[in-house]
Structure 1
Amino acid sequence: MSTDTGPAVQELLPTQAWGLLESSPNAVLIDVRTMAEWSFVGKPDLSNLSRAVITIEWLRYPDMSVNPRFVEEMNEALGDSKPSQILFICRSGARSMSAALAVQASLAGDTLCPDLFNVTEGFEGDLDPKKHRGGLNGWKAHGLPWRQS
């Protein structure tokens, strides 16, 4: 559903995001975490779907400033492809929502907008009682495909 500010940003759990990626060949997943996170923590693996995750930092490491070229870099990464859905993921779902809202604002007035989704819980999920991520919820905890470089 579109509004004056662009398409609504919907939320999906990681398993729902995987289901959407499986069923929609035009859907793309954009990981907005930092290069350090992709390298040391890992990232979703879409190779079983014959696709790759698009990686674009929303907040730039190490100062964690907003990437002013995020939307431009996303458009460059997409090239001529016109995804039907764009899913955004980060560590726990906050940065990815901010990135999705920035894309939403950039699409205001566009009548051929893709559906936008934030992956709640993110890649690593929330902190558990021992202050660790990756076991309580999130992409990894749900047993979805991922790899570490």
Structure 2
Amino acid sequence: MAYAGDVDVETAYQAVASNPDAVLVDVRTRAEWTFVGVPDLRAIGKDVLMVEWQGFPAGSAVPDFVETLSGEIARRGLDKAAPIYFLCRSGARSMSAAIAMTSAGYGPCYNIAQGFEGPMGPEGHRGGVAGWKAKGLPWVQS
């Protein structure tokens, strides 16, 4: 398999909370982190690794993503076998990131299906139907 699979947001949060080696990686853009918000893991004594998969505003892939994230993981004293949970807006970029890190020998690497904001609801807005925000998991906005 190209990566360990998809998990829902509640499963990811519980896994990161219960396993001291598990990490949450938010692969959205700096603009999304700033204007939409970010997961807040302070209550479980952790922080979120923030590493863009695609740059803003161009939307092109960040060529040193694997190297950057590898360095962040090493700085935290974790090895390549640490479980990694990837989050983006709705689950597409995070799946690509999970595949890339699995290919680099890390993992298990999981994609958080539905992401931070999930799909658009009937009124055309994200964040109310599914995903991290809609499920009431902790998050902050800068």
Q: Bin the TM-score by the shorter chain.
A: over 0.9
Q: What is the letter of the counterpart of residue 65 of structure 1? A: S
Aligned-residue Cα RMSD (Å) equals 1.3
Question: 2:98 corresponds to which letter in structure 1?
Answer: A
Residue 43 in 1 paired to residue 41 in 2?
Answer: no
**Following superposition, which runs of at least 4 residues in structure 1 exceed 3 angstroms of deviation?**
none
State the shift of 1:25 in Å: 1.0
> How far, CA to CA, are the matches of 2:132 and 2:108 in structure 1?
20
Q: How many Å separate the matches in 1 of 2:108 and 2:103?
A: 13
Give the count of matched residue pairs: 139
| Rg comparison, structure with higher value | 1
Quick one: distance in 2 between partners of 1:81 and 1:106?
A: 15
Give the number of the structure whose residues are more often strand, by fraction. Answer: 1
Q: What is the alpha-carbon distance in structure 2 between the residues aligned to residue 78 and residue 102 of structure 1? A: 15
Which runs of structure 2 are paired with 1:33-112 in the superposition (5 Å)? Answer: 33-79=28-74, 80-82=77-79, 84-107=82-105
Counting aligned pairs with the same residue, the percent is: 45
Q: Matches of residues 104-123 of structure 1 in structure 2 within 5 Å?
A: 104-107=102-105, 113-123=106-116
What is the rounded CA distance, in whole Å, between the counterparts of 1:66 and 1:29 in structure 2?
A: 20
Given residue 53 of structure 2, which amino acid in structure 1 is its aligned partner? W
1-side partners of 2:107 and 2:130: how far apart?
A: 27
Amino acid in the other structure paired with 1:102: A
| CA distance in 1: counterparts of 2:87 and 2:103, whole angstroms | 18
* Gapped regions of structure 2 (runs ≥ 5): none
Which residue does 2:128 correspond to in 1? 135
Could you tell me how far apart the structure 2 residues matched to 1:12 and 1:130 are?
A: 26
